[in-house]
Amino acid sequence: MRILLAVCVVPLSLSAQTTVQTTLSLSAATPIAALTSAAGGTTSFQGIPQAQPIGSAPLNVFLTTTQNVAGSYLSATTIVYPTMPYQGGAGFNFFERAYASGSAIEAAGTSASPAQVGAAFGAHAVLAVFSAPQGTQGHVRVSFRNNAGPTTTSSTTGASVDIGNDGIFEVNQANAGEFDLPYTFGASGQVAVRVGNLCRSNGNGTAATIYTWTEVYVGFQPDLTATCTFTNYGQGCGGVQAAGNELVVGNTRTIFMLATGCFPNSPTIVANGSSQIALPLPAGCALLCNAEALALTLADAAGNATWSWTTPVTTVGRTHVQFLPIADQGGALVLRASNGVRIDLVH
């Protein structure tokens, strides 16, 4: 009890946390190209070489190639660019578009070939190197969306993600999906992530245009430490006052609440709720939160009551706390109430 009280009477203050800012560098892990191939062997091609840096415009990737041969229409597009930083994180988009109208041997889509001569369809890849301070915890987030066209024989899609560029794929699939993969930065402060993208449309022998697309997003988002603030509101009765404070150790935040002016050596109800209210109670008191949860603690001989709980430092949200001391005086139940305390946890 003495330790809790020593912590609780520290003046309230905001958490002093340094915001992590992840940085990102992109390059072509393979040659990256858009390719079309018409009946008779006519091709069109646009690409960049392996290891070419990729950045925001004008260093972004926007490759597009089209051809019309004997009534067929073929078009392929590849787009790669970093996204705007968000809450200390960094990421990039990797998009493909492929259109094919013609025979089944006519196609458009992705290629990892270095040149038009001898070019073949297949997945190509980007190498993303994320940097953050050693020990930064967070998640590699992967979003894969696709449209595989009307039939499995006329189109192909796929995405692969290799965290660490070690040949082990954490994501490797043709179906759309969302993934949140935990990662903690080591001593180097860097992690290389190889991201592959495959998109191809073949004609189906009719005038219909087969449209296939993929959209891959990959980013690292740090698990940010929330800022905690305590705001007193409303009026207590019977001289009861409540306040709160916090202690952050490692990845855990402990929230301490203290009420003074309670009945000595008597029970005190601790009400916790998501909303601030003002419901009249006996003796001119008021219930100041919607009391979705109730706990019971015991005030000490000086009339001080405490309550605490722990939560991860990344937790965000809002809650309201109020102390309601009770006592048996001459066979009658006597009630007091503290002010309310609103606790906000935000990034």
CA dist., res. 86 & res. 88, Å (int): 6
Q: pLDDT digit string (tens) for 227-264? A: 999 999 999 999 999 999 999 998 899 999 999 999 99
pLDDT of res. 8: 32
Given a cut of 90, whether residue 7 has pLDDT beyond it is no
- Residue 218 shares a structural domain with residue 232: no
- Residue 262 shares a structural domain with residue 296: yes
Tokens encoding 286: 């008021």
- The residue that leads in pLDDT, 13 or 229, is 229
- Residue 38 shares a structural domain with residue 102: yes
Q: Which of 196, 222, 248 is a domain's end point?
A: 222
Given a cut of 90, whether residue 11 has pLDDT beyond it is no
- Residue 158 shares a structural domain with residue 254: no
Given a cut of 90, whether residue 224 has pLDDT beyond it is no
Q: Which of 222, 256, 280 is a domain's end point?
A: 222
- Residue 75 shares a structural domain with residue 40: yes
Confidence grade of residue 27 (pLDDT, cut at 50, 70, 90): very high
CATH of the domain at 332: 2.60.40
pLDDT of res. 148: 83
| Residue 45 lies in domain | 23-222
- High-pLDDT (> 70) share of the chain, %: 93
- Residue 213 shares a structural domain with residue 232: no
Contacts for 156 with CB less than 8 Å, ≥ 6 apart: 109, 148, 174, 198, 199, 200, 212
CA dist., res. 83 & res. 130, Å (int): 13
The whole-model pTM stands at: 0.70
Give the phi and the psi of residue 12 in degrees, each rounded to 5: -65, 145
Domain count, the chain: 2
Q: Find the distance separating the first CA and the last CA of the chain, reported in whole Å.
A: 31
Closest CA to 25 of 76, 91, 86, 78: 91
CA dist., res. 75 & res. 45, Å (int): 10
pLDDT of res. 150: 66
Half-sphere exposure of 261 (CA within 13 A, CB side): 15
Q: pLDDT digit string (tens) for 109-143? A: 999 999 999 999 999 999 999 999 998 989 999 99
Given a cut of 50, whether residue 94 has pLDDT beyond it is yes
**pLDDT, the chain, mean:** 92
- Residue 263 shares a structural domain with residue 184: no
- Residue 12 shares a structural domain with residue 31: no
Given a cut of 60, whether residue 63 has pLDDT beyond it is yes
- Residue 265 shares a structural domain with residue 277: yes
Give the phi and the psi of residue 79 in degrees, each rounded to 5: -130, 130
Tokens encoding 40: 């008779």
Q: pLDDT digit string (tens) for 142-181? A: 999 999 866 656 789 999 999 999 999 999 999 999 999 9
CA dist., res. 93 & res. 195, Å (int): 11
CA dist., res. 325 & res. 263, Å (int): 6
CA dist., res. 219 & res. 74, Å (int): 32
H-run or E-run covering 138: strand 137-147
- Residue 232 shares a structural domain with residue 260: yes
Closest CA to 246 of 310, 340, 298: 310
Q: Which of 173, 206, 222 is a domain's end point?
A: 222
- Residue 187 shares a structural domain with residue 256: no
- Residue 12 shares a structural domain with residue 50: no
273 alpha-carbon distance from chain centroid: 26
- The residue that leads in pLDDT, 302 or 225, is 302
Given a cut of 60, whether residue 68 has pLDDT beyond it is yes
